[in-house]
Amino acid sequence: MMRPEAEARRVSVRGVVQGVGFRPFVWRLAERHGLTGWVRNADGVVEIHLEGSPGSLDAFVTELGDAPPPLAVVEDVSWRPEDVHGFPGFDVDVSVEGAAGDRLVPPDAATCDACLRELLDPDDRRYRYPFINCTDCGPRFTIIEALPYDRARTSMRNFPMCEACRQEYEDPGDRRFHAEPIACPVCGPRIELRDASGGGVEGDVVELVGSMLRGGAIVAIKGLGGFHLACDATDSGAVRLLRERKRRPNKPFAVMVADLAAAREWFEPTTEEAAALSSWRAPIVLVADRGRLAPGIAPGHRRCGAMLPATPLHHLLLRAVSAPLVMTSGNASDEPICIGNDEALDRLAGIADAFVLHDRAIVARYDDPVVWVRPDDQRPSVMRRARSFAPSSIDLACPVRVPTLGMGAELHGAFCLATGGRAFLSQHIGDLDTEEAMAAYRSALDRYREILRVEPELVAHDLHPDFASTRSRGWPCSIITRTSPRRWPRAGWRARCWGSRSTDWDSATTERSGAASSCGVRRGARRVSAGCGPCASPAATARRDTRGGWRWRSPRRPA
């Protein structure tokens, strides 16, 4: 029974607070302050009912945003008085559906240090298990089918937990407390090896693939957001063969190395580049090359794209090969990246000599992000927004008046959905000049609309009549006929600033777009706010002042 002086509060927390271990964090915080009640996920928010002394309640609310879990972003904490119900303890309640707030979905996160230690520990029950994860790492958006974020609404719903995983999942003191992708060798997904014809290959998959790669083979590997094509980055013959089969004669290949020490062995990363490489995002980072890789890796370029493993499977493979690996998207040139097992066996036939498959479905198609550390201020800038960045929102300099869709460019295609003060810039999709690419575009856009619950009332597109994102028959989804949004045709970079820009590493500002103009010449918009156009100040675009503020310019004047 609660003491007479006890009070109760209903607390709402907004931000990236689902799928990041926030409910376990709340449970531990409530236990530390001697509070009772419950915590649950609702649409876009975490709801908390608290009962206890006024001092403990105040301390809880103060600490809630001070030290959240590593992947969480707390944007707002609010509370109101509630009736005291006399709860005996503090529980993690079942999620509820509704329309409580913005739907902010976490991106995937690379394997954390704690999981990596377990992966390589022979005494751990998840030793060498390629799907190890916890609340601080692992798949998120690439497995989410619907919100609120619970296991039953992900592609992990097909893998019932074993008793050992269930105990960890329900233990508030465990690192995997309510980790929705939790799995182990007993109950979780499994990998398998297929040969070039699709036939099964028996044996230790990791060791067999390591031997193949050392022998010059090209292997297709199913990752978080799609397949990679891998080969030995020091083998000139293997690199040349991959270019021929993939029909990619000149574009640079990314290279994956086992860890930061290996990155320094093969490349010359600066301190800032090393920090970007080893972050939880695990992006491709453009770094200086020491000249020890096969000459066909990045012909004509002074820098090479380096990356560290983002999944336990890639960690295992890099250690099995003991050499840097080319890790390029699993597709032929100008095609979307493969995500399904049958799709890869069909489309990558003739390219890959072997296939590493697994039985966890990829719900969202995602490539690897590319980051460049600017030499002027040594800050990372995102050149290709993909896994681990999208679908994180970008704060707008000025809110849009109505939900708005920016279609993006024909080349390096991407789109942007904006509502209120947020813009959701999609992952890199690629050139939109094939039916397969437009199908991937439509699928990604429909998924964003459904998950984020944003129905555009205004569509911004390029004036060029032959762009796939402009032609009426090429509109990416049925929203044009079903909801009849207004169209906002824009010439030049002003239309494409809505869908094809890179962003600062950790800010809302945008950097050079690299979007292709209608004549094929690459142009770059300079720090244009995602709110330009149909926003609270539609006649102006925003450019960040060196003093940190914003000054407004007419679109008719050069930036």
Indicate if 276 and 149 belong to the same structural domain: yes
**Does 150 fall in a domain?**
yes
Indicate if 184 and 52 belong to the same structural domain: no
Note down pLDDT in tens along the chain; length 559 residues.
445 578 999 999 988 888 788 888 999 999 999 999 999 988 778 999 999 999 999 999 988 888 888 888 888 899 999 999 999 999 888 777 655 456 788 899 999 999 999 999 999 999 999 999 999 999 999 999 987 788 999 999 999 999 999 999 998 789 998 899 999 999 999 999 999 999 999 999 999 999 999 999 999 999 999 999 999 999 999 999 999 999 999 999 999 999 999 999 999 999 999 999 999 999 999 999 999 999 999 998 989 999 999 999 999 999 999 999 999 999 987 789 999 999 999 999 999 999 999 999 999 999 999 999 998 888 999 999 999 999 988 889 899 999 999 988 888 889 999 999 999 999 998 888 888 888 889 999 999 998 888 999 998 887 777 777 776 444 544 444 444 556 555 544 444 444 444 455 554 333 333 322 222 222 232 222 333 333 333 333 333 333 333 322 323 333 3
**Does 385 fall in a domain?**
no
**Does 99 fall in a domain?**
no
To 10 degrees, what angle do helices 205-214 and 312-321 make? 50
Question: According to the model, what pLDDT value does residue 518 have?
Answer: 26
Q: What is the per-residue pLDDT across 47-92, written as a single tens digit (0 to 9) for each?
A: 999 999 999 999 999 888 888 888 888 888 999 999 999 999 998 8
Indicate if 38 and 161 belong to the same structural domain: no
| Strand 325-329 versus strand 227-232 pairing type | antiparallel
Question: According to the model, what pLDDT value does residue 552 have?
Answer: 27
**Does 223 fall in a domain?**
yes
Q: What is the per-residue pLDDT across 198-247, written as a single tens digit (0 to 9) for each?
A: 999 999 999 999 999 999 999 999 999 999 999 999 999 999 999 999 99
Q: What is the per-residue pLDDT across 487-534, written as a single tens digit (0 to 9) for each?
A: 555 544 444 444 444 455 554 333 333 322 222 222 232 222 333 333
Residue partners of 111: CB distance under 8 A and separation at least 6: 119, 132, 133, 137, 138, 309, 310, 311, 312, 315
Task: Provide the token pair at 465.
Answer: 């009549």
Indicate if 270 and 305 belong to the same structural domain: yes
Please give the helix or strand (H or E) that residue 115 lies within, else none. Answer: helix 113-119
Question: According to the model, what pLDDT value does residue 241 have?
Answer: 97
Q: What is the per-residue pLDDT across 331-344, written as a single tens digit (0 to 9) for each?
A: 987 789 999 999 99
Q: How many CB atoms lie within 10 A of CB 114?
A: 13
**Does 1 fall in a domain?**
no
CA–CA separation, 207 and 468 (whole Å): 45
Q: What is the 3-state secondary structure (H, E, C) of 375-396?
A: CCCCCEEEEECCCCCCCCCEEC
Indicate if 87 and 119 belong to the same structural domain: no
- Identity at 518, one-letter amino acid code: S
**Does 261 fall in a domain?**
yes
Indicate if 276 and 172 belong to the same structural domain: yes
Residue of 434, 412, 485, 481 whose CA lies nearest to 455: 485
CATH of the domain at 11: 3.30.70.100
Indicate if 53 and 125 belong to the same structural domain: no
Range of the domain at 422: 393-553
Question: According to the model, what pLDDT value does residue 495 have?
Answer: 46
Of the three residues 70, 92, 114, the one that is the final residue of a domain is 92
**Does 122 fall in a domain?**
yes
Indicate if 62 and 191 belong to the same structural domain: no
**Does 2 fall in a domain?**
no
Question: According to the model, what pLDDT value does residue 47 have?
Answer: 93
CA–CA separation, 418 and 416 (whole Å): 6
Of the three residues 92, 118, 150, the one that is the final residue of a domain is 92
Indicate if 348 and 476 belong to the same structural domain: no
pTM of the model: 0.82
Indicate if 44 and 176 belong to the same structural domain: no
CA-CA-CA-CA torsion sign (357, 361, 367, 373):
negative
Indicate if 283 and 397 belong to the same structural domain: no
Please give the helix or strand (H or E) that residue 37 lies within, else none. Answer: strand 36-42
Q: Count up the domains in the chain and report the number.
A: 3
Apex CA 463: angle with CA 459 and CA 468, to 5°?
75
Task: Provide the token pair at 443.
Answer: 């699928």
Of the three residues 68, 92, 116, the one that is the final residue of a domain is 92
To 10 degrees, what angle do helices 54-64 and 22-32 make? 150
Indicate if 115 and 86 belong to the same structural domain: no
CATH of the domain at 473: 3.30.420.360
CATH of the domain at 206: 3.90.870.30
